[in-house]
Amino acid sequence: MSNTPKTRKLAVRLLKDSFEPDSALKDGHGLDENVWPPLVDGRLFTGRSRLRPPRWIGFLEEGTGEKLNLGVRHASAVLFIPVASRWMVFTFGGGLYALKQESYEIGFGLRCVLNAIDPESLKSLDVSTPEQTTIQRRIQASQESELGIFNITTDRDILKKIQGKAVDNEFAKNMTGADALTMSTPVFAKDLKKKAEEVLDIYHQDNYKERFGWVDYVAHVREKETCEKLNACLIVNLKSDAESAHLAAPEIIDPEIMGDFRYRGTKSRETYPTLSLTDYLAAAEKSTLSVEQLKRHKIVLVQDDNTELTRWPIFNSLVYETEYQGGLYVLSTGCWYRVDTDFADEVNAFFEKVMCGPILPDTKVKTTEDEYIGDLKRAQPDWACLHTKNIKCDKWSSAIESCDFLTPENQFIHIKNKAESATLSHLFNQGVVSAEAFKRDAEFRKELNAKIRDAHSGFQSPCPDHEKPIAGGDFAVVYAVMREPYKGNGDMGLPFFSKVALRNAKQRLDDLGFQTQFSWVRKEEAA
């Protein structure tokens, strides 16, 4: 045998403290235990699936008109190696599918790679944004690169998987980390125990905090037991005062789509102009409320002729924040997230600073965004109403709404109904894009002047000479959000991830020289 080991591709997981090989394998896993050399001190399970015809065989038989004798069989192996009172698991072939998902550590491989990887030699990142968890992004570089090349937002994007080159080539060459650690490494089978010890040592390090500390800002919670306890907290809250919770569309609704909402699965057949947790709870059987019910009941967007446009589970539309065992947890688009305490404090302090007193008047609970803008136009004749007066310029891929109102004090006011995470992210980005176009695009300013003249002939344009460069410090972007206060304490609340999105928007507006303000428009029963 050669003295130089071949480079092998290994997939490794770490069992949780409470699991051992027998309890980690699924019932009926179909694997047999094999004798493994005592030198390695492990337990090996192997098996083969029965011969099955491939899924595409029927299509070929249809064309040939005869029976084809084709079949596929999959081999599986799971090797458990004890390391420091824990069990490391090496899976081969279909061996992964014999493991209970709750038996191994979530994010184990990700942490290993972050501790061992060369930060200048990244190859691929998988990320998701909490407001859009159904959209996953894989960003690949054509050559080994540093993090900045991947253009991710570190305080908003959740890192799910990372691939790159290890610092220590004797430990591994290429590494990929998610729940499992997958690595190309030179190793003999007899040395797997030593390799497992090296992996566990790397897992317990915290080198990543210097280079990738931002990954701890927001963590996707996937541990079944923790999610069940958080779901229980949610149900208790909804059955009592429903504070710190509200309904939000889990995706952006095209503003050109006109429709009302219906809560399918409840005893009510009514339609509602806006989403309201209060309306849903009144229509649902509150005494039997459960997570299963929240997932079964649907929000349906319908048109006047009862045509169904789209639907979402109630659970996926809930936004809820709670403290649990000293941490802040957020439910958004059907997923739970744990927010780092220091990061949460930092974001909340930012929001308190950017939030200003009432700029716009309160309104009634059932008032829509268009109705409110119409009322405000009549109440503020000195303001230029630019709502829906979009501007199309060659430098921008789509038409831009400069703002809903432009005031004589050079405030670009953007108004949005309801504190919905996905919608607010769109709102904040809209304000940034408008400010950037206003400052950097003379053609946009020219068109804006024309829109201002159409909307308010006596309004003094902030850029009478559109060719003249703009000094951003003379202008402010104001985000005004309409929503009802929480029942009971009367507080107003913005989802945590919306605060993060607002902070990112402010940073971009700061670079443009614009001021940023946030203000509530309270929707009261009797305004």
Instruction: Count other C-beta atoms under 10 Å from residue 267's C-beta.
Output: 9
Residues with Cβ within 8 Å of residue 440, at least 6 apart in sequence: none
Separation in Å, CA 418 to CA 404, 461, 480, 481 = 16, 30, 10, 6
Per-residue pLDDT reduced to its tens digit, 75-118 = 899 999 999 999 999 999 889 889 998 899 988 999 999 999 99
Q: Give me the sheet containing 318-324, strands edge to edge.
A: 218-220, 335-339, 327-332, 318-324, 245-247
Residue-level pLDDT at 305:
65
For the chain, give the percent of residues with pLDDT over 70: 92
Q: Give just the sign of the alpha carbon dihedral 4, 95, 41, 12.
A: positive
Q: Amino acid identity of 251?
A: E
Q: Share the mean pLDDT of the chain.
A: 87
What amino acid is encoded at 68 in this protein?
A: L
pLDDT at 26 over 70: yes
CB-CB contact of 253 with 270 (8 Å) = no
**What confidence score (pLDDT) does residue 132 get?**
44
Among candidates 95, 113, 222, which has minimal Cα distance to 178?
113
Burial of 306 (0-12, 13-18, 19+ CB in 10 A): exposed
Band (350; pLDDT cuts 50, 70, 90)? very high
Distance in angstroms (rounded) separating the CA atoms of residues 247 and 245: 7
Q: Identify whether the C-beta of residue 73 lies closer than 8 Å to the C-beta of residue 52.
A: yes
Structure confidence by residue, pLDDT tens digits, 204-215: 999 998 889 888
4/483 Cα distance (integer angstroms): 67
List CB contacts of 501: < 8 A, sequence separation 6 or more: 131, 156, 421, 424, 425, 428, 429
Least confident of 251-260, 354-363, 508-517: 251-260
Angle at which helices 341-354 and 496-512 pack, to 10 degrees?
Answer: 60
Using pLDDT thresholds of 50, 70 and 90, give the confidence band for residue 481.
very high
**Residue 490 in this model has a pLDDT that exceeds 70:** no
Helix, strand, or coil (residue 441)? coil
pLDDT, position 194 = 93
How many degrees, rounded to 5, is the angle at CA 111 between CA 108 and CA 117?
Answer: 130
What stretches of 340-398 adopt beta strand conformation (E)? 363-364, 384-385
Rounded to whole angstroms, the Cα distance separating 194 from 270 reads 65
Contact 111, 177 (CB under 8 A): yes
Residue matched to tokens 């045509």: 307
Burial level of 458, CB count in 10 A (0-12/13-18/19+)? exposed
pLDDT-derived band at 134 (thresholds 50, 70, 90) equals very low
Among 149-153, 176-180, 292-296, name the one with the lowest average pLDDT: 149-153
Predicted local distance difference test score (pLDDT) of residue 424: 83
Report the alpha-carbon distance of residue 515 to residue 496 in Å, rounded: 22
- State yes or no: pLDDT of 449 exceeds 70: yes
pLDDT at 135: 56
Q: What is the pLDDT of residue 251?
A: 66
When pLDDT is averaged across residues 58-73 and rounded to a whole number, the result is 87
Amino acid 483: pLDDT: 86
| Residue 423: predicted pLDDT | 73
Nearest of 429, 425, 432, 494 to residue 132 by alpha carbon: 425
Summarize the confidence of residues 414-439 as an average pLDDT: 85
* Contact criterion met (CB below 8 Å) for 122 and 163: yes
> pLDDT tens digits for 269-301?
888 888 888 889 888 877 789 999 999 999 988
User: Which residues lie below 8 Å from residue 329, measured CB to CB, with a gap of 6+?
Assistant: 221, 230, 321, 322, 323, 336, 337, 338, 339
pLDDT band at 242 (very low <50, low <70, confident <90, very high): low
SS3 of 461-511: CCCCCCCCCCCHHHCEEEEEEEECCCCCCCCCCCCHHHHHHHHHHHHHHHH
User: pTM of the entire structure?
Assistant: 0.73
d(CA 177, CA 116): 10
User: What's the confidence (pLDDT) of residue 254?
Assistant: 64
Q: What is the DSSP string of 253-292?
A: PPTT---EEEEETSS----BSS--HHHHHHHS-GGG--HH
Among 176-180, 227-231, 245-249, 336-340, the range scoring the smallest mean pLDDT is 245-249
Of residues 135 and 134, more confidence is placed in: 135
- Is the model's pLDDT at 23 over the cut of 90? yes
Residue 323 main-chain phi, psi, to 5 deg: -95, 135
